[in-house]
Structure 1
Amino acid sequence: NGVLQSLSVFLLCNLCYLAYFNLNGLQHRHQAEPQCSLAQTQTLSSLSEIPRCESDWKSFNGSCYYIVTTEKNWMEAQAFCKSMNSDLVIITSEREQKFLESLTDKSYFWIGLKRDKDDKKVWRWVDGTLHNLSDGFWYEDEPNNKYGTEDCVLLWKEEKWNDDDCIDQYKAICEK
């Protein structure tokens, strides 16, 4: 990853030199260096903002994701994610949802959404933010709390969300 970044900066700087020469009709390389040095600094600064995901983690849109393949209940899954300095995934966009679909094997995966313990009509993400039920990717007629104990949410095999009993055992997706 570091080699690729260094190569990218090198190529960008060389392109900068060429472009600056051609646009300004410069005769000497040293005339372009101040402009290209600035471009290199800006590029290195933006590259430092790119998350570096550890082995087995996948990068997308500034976050790193880990697929937990050992089935756990929701609380165990969240604790496992915490042990890796992450949380169960918070899905904020259709693009992110599609990305996660590409990582999964069409089975069931816990995500970081759960009913509020004090107000069963309220859904909260693991970071405490409220979830608007009109948002999201709920399966038809979900959430339905079918058995009266479905307080946790999973990404279902049809790439939709379903509420389920938090003690059931599924795979999970961590995000940091």
Structure 2
Amino acid sequence: MLVTADAEFNQTFIMFLMKTQLLVCLLGVFLSVGAAAVVPVEGVPEGGAVPVPVEATADVTEARAELSVPGAAPEEPLNVQTLQRSASQCPEGWQPYKDHCYLMVNLMYNRINAEFLCESLNSSLASIHNLWEHQFLKELTWKAGFNTAWIGGYNFQGYWRWDDGTPFNYNNWYSNDGSSYKPCNYLNSNGVYGWSNKECTDLHASICSMKVSC
């Protein structure tokens, strides 16, 4: 009976040792796995955001700058820009409009003397090439208190020309016979009247014009 009891005790003790070793092994494996899960990766902060070097950011910014095409600044409206430019270059007393300066001569001259006066001021009697120039000069004459003013048109051998040599490519005659035999023209500032032509010996105010140098 004593032998049988010793054998059972030995068997029980062996089983206890095996279970203990198994638990130790399992505990070691568990600790190894847990340690691997919590070991931080070098250079990666909490939250998983990977920092980008400053140099790399600068490279990307430069690349975007090279690829982007900056929009051109909007130009000022033409009438404002040209008026500002000519206003700074017009002599005192002259009125700017686009790329010209205009002088309202408040003295009554015949056509020849009006032309000579403008030439003495390095200008010529005004030429008109569109409705807007006509309206500007018409208002200039009206504000000066005159109903009429010599402009630079003259008839030579049946053709109308401008004193400054520019093409006679616009007209605003008041009557159908405006391009008839009388050789010198002037504008009317009243109402819807346009241009008239008379003898060059008539007396009128006049408008001198000079082109603004760029």
1:155 to 2:187 alignment? yes
Structure 1 runs of 4+ aligned residues shifted over 4 Å read none
Aligned residues between the structures: 128
- For the residues of structure 2 that align with 1:89 and 1:112, how far apart are their CA atoms? 5
Structure with higher RCO (Cα < 8 A, 6+ apart): 1
| In 1: Cα distance, 2:163 partner to 2:187 partner | 15
Is residue 94–residue 101 contact of structure 2 (8 Å, CA) maintained in 1? yes
Partner of 2:99: 62
**In the alignment, is the contact (CA less than 8 A) between 1:153 and 1:163 conserved in 2?**
yes
| 1:14-56, Cα deviation, whole Å (9 max, x unpaired) | xxxxxxxxxxxx9xxxxxxxx9xxx8xxx9xx88x92211111
Q: Given the alignment, which residue of 60, 67, 73 partners 2:110?
A: 73
Name which of 133, 145, 149 aligns with 1:109.
149
- Superposed, 1:1-176 pairs within 5 Å as 50-51=85-86, 52-105=89-142, 106-116=146-156, 119=157, 121-132=158-169, 135-143=170-178, 145=180, 150-158=182-190, 159-176=193-210
State the Cα RMSD in Å. 2.8
Residue 144 (structure 1) shift = 5.4
Q: CA deviation at 1:142?
A: 3.3
> Structure 1 residues 167 and 59 mapped into 2: Cα distance closer, same or farther (>3 Å)?
same
More helix by share: 2
Is the radius of gyration larger for structure 1 or structure 2?
2
**TM-score normalised per structure 1:** 0.64
8 A contact 2:125–2:207 mirrored in 1: yes
Q: What residue ranges of structure 2 are gaps of 5+ in the alignment? A: 1-60, 62-69
Identity value in percent: 30
Aligned residue for 1:131, secondary structure, equals: coil
